[in-house]
Amino acid sequence: MPTENKTVMGDPLPNIPWEEKPAGSNAVVWRYSGNPVIPRDLIPTSNSIFNSAVVPFGGEFAGVFRCDDNQRNMQLHAGRSKDGISWELEPERIHWQCDDPEIGHWEYGYDPRVCWIDDRYYITWCNGYHGPTIGVGYTFDFKTFHQLENAYLPFNRNGVLFPRKINGKYAMLSRPSDNGHTPFGDIYYSVSPDMAHWGYHRHVMSPCGGWQSTKIGAGPIPIETNEGWLLVYHGVLTSCNGFVYSTGVALLDIDRPWKVIYRSAPYIMSPQTLYECVGDVPNVAFPCAALCDAPTGRIAMYYGCADTVTGLCFAQADELIDWLKRNHT
């Protein structure tokens, strides 16, 4: 039986995909035994499907998926699933409806996040506009997608919205970067009265040692808890063989989320399985979405594996926070 959880604010999600932690494991995050949940070739034109975002939708699940096509263009596709494990993706990429053709002109999009706020699902992604920046859009039904203004000037990546207004404003984490495979990167916090104008930028955190020494970026939509915002993020180490993308966790102040309460010293997950270590870009575990069942604190995270396939892993909110308090920097 699930244990009663008093930590997570939010809705019940009784049909969250879930698997118990393997007996004898002391891991704080454990992988789904059927990984990867999304193979690279789920749609006929895809080279790889990874770094994708999933949300509860109409008693089932929906999402926006990064599908790099077999011309190696980075595209976003909508998808649906009854159980969060078996997915059907639209074979045609998302065509955004946008009032301004200059902004709506599609170059490329990758690493989407989806966030329910008030009455709709907002989507943020890394959007090509003379270099990567943060694209913003929304949908009500995962059929019609509306594109708004880009949040920032290029270059920026990893735009991650908070699931409610904070102090009366929309709030977003992002990671200013350069136009290449950026060898630096801090997480910043910005707010907006209208989803178009972003400002009051605040520094949240910088790279530090080991697995998070080169750059860091926010992952899934932060989870609201009675201890703060639970933020799962990626951290990058530069090895003699290139970047290694691991996953960490932090707690941010509820009203001033640029204030870090705790930040993990060890990673909670690093690329260790074959599907995380071998692929188009080896050694990448890149989480972009988390489902959460508030009454039990169960968390199911979707993460890109080796820039090739999508994996699922699990954690328990109370346990993750307890672990963080014992393992912070």
Site residues, ligand BMA (CB under 6 A): 51, 110-111, 181, 245, 281, 284, 286, 304, 307
Q: How far is the CB of 284 from ligand BMA (least distance, A)?
A: 5
Instruction: Considering the complex, state which of residue 72 and residue 101 has its C-beta at the smaller distance from ligand BMA.
Output: 72
Please give the residue whose beta carbon sits closest to ligand BMA in the complex. 281
Q: What dihedral do alpha carbons 261, 157, 62, 65 form, nearest 10°?
A: -140
Strands 46-57 and 260-263: unpaired
179 closest CA partner among 132, 135, 134: 132
The angle subtended at Cα 127 by Cα 125 and Cα 131, nearest 5°, is: 140
Q: How far is the CB of 104 from ligand BMA (least distance, A)?
A: 22
Least distance from C-beta 307 to ligand BMA, angstroms? 5
**Residue with smaller CB distance to ligand BMA, 111 or 293:** 111
Smallest separation (angstroms) from ligand BMA to the CB of 112: 10
Pick 65 or 262: Cβ nearer ligand BMA: 65
Which residue number, 191 or 284, has a Cβ lying nearer to ligand BMA? 284
Measured from the CB atom, is 163 or 271 closer to ligand BMA? 271
DSSP string of 114-137, one letter each residue: EEEETTEEEEEEEEESSSEEEEEE
Nearest alpha carbon to residue 287 among 52, 97, 121, 55 = 52
Q: How many CB atoms lie within 10 A of CB 175?
A: 25
- Structure tokens, 251: 């707690």
CB of 217 to ligand BMA, least distance (A): 8
SS3 251: strand
Q: Of the candidates 101, 153, 146, 88, which has an alpha carbon nearest to the alpha carbon of residue 127?
A: 153
**Shortest distance in whole angstroms from residue 199 CB to ligand BMA:** 25
CB-nearer residue toward ligand BMA: 308 or 316:
308
